[in-house]
Amino acid sequence: MVERDKNVFAWYKDLGRMDYKECWDFQRSLFDALIERKMSHRTQSPADCEESVGTVLVVEHPAVYTLGKNGKESNLLLGEEYLRSIGADFYRIDRGGDVTFHGEGQIVGYPILDIERLGIGLRDYIDAIEQSVIDTMAHYGIEAGRLAGASGVWLGSAEERNLRKICAIGVRASRFVTMHGFALNVSTDLRYFNHINPCGFTDKGVTSMERELGSAPDMEEVKELVVYNLSRNLNVKIYKN
């Protein structure tokens, strides 16, 4: 059993709008540094470590498609050259999951955290992210939930054949340190999803808060609520840096 440090904390950094590759490099630098720091303290108990357990990055990207390490390129319905012609980049990356889209009007969260110090495993960590988004949606009166056999946060039901994803999740972990994370559609241009089978699904749709509510909520307010709910569901203090 991991000893839980009751005084753990993490930093929160809002990067605004940033190119995907630039942000990916920044993520990896934080990820590598956190693993290196963890290894240098491997003889200490978690409660003896006074540094933060990591950083939660929040960002919006210009239009970009990313394909997870186990994803199928066939789920990208158009060639890379065409995607670039419509102003979108494409990257094969090292997270789990299949293909997804990131763009303006979407809150992308990258928690780079030592979840061992939080006393949880990867499944509980993903559950906490999903619950944080579900709680945020509830604040706006959007009824959201999980779908068996599929990560992320969903609206609708299989029985009514109206399942639609509002938040995608794909993570990577090494030595219980995480990177990558979630992408919540706030006022995203959903037409970009027509060029892919989102997350590998051909029989399910995508949606956004704007589509569900009829108008776009304030992005800054949604960011703050998501981070607040992450703090609550991960049981860790998160301070803005």
Residues labelled as active-site residues: 199
The Cα-based distances of 159 to 156, 163, 202 in angstroms read 9, 9, 17
Query: DSSP of 141-182, one letter per residue?
Result: T---EEETTEEEEEES-TTTT--EEEEEEEEEEETTEEEEEE
SS3 assignment, position 207: coil
Per-residue tokens: 190: 């959903």
SS3 assignment, position 202: coil
Q: Which residues pair with 183 in a beta bridge?
A: 108, 168
Alpha carbon distance 5, 207 (integer Å) = 38
Per-residue tokens: 231: 């703090």
Are 175 and 102 contacting, i.e. CB atoms less than 8 angstroms apart? no
SS3 assignment, position 203: coil
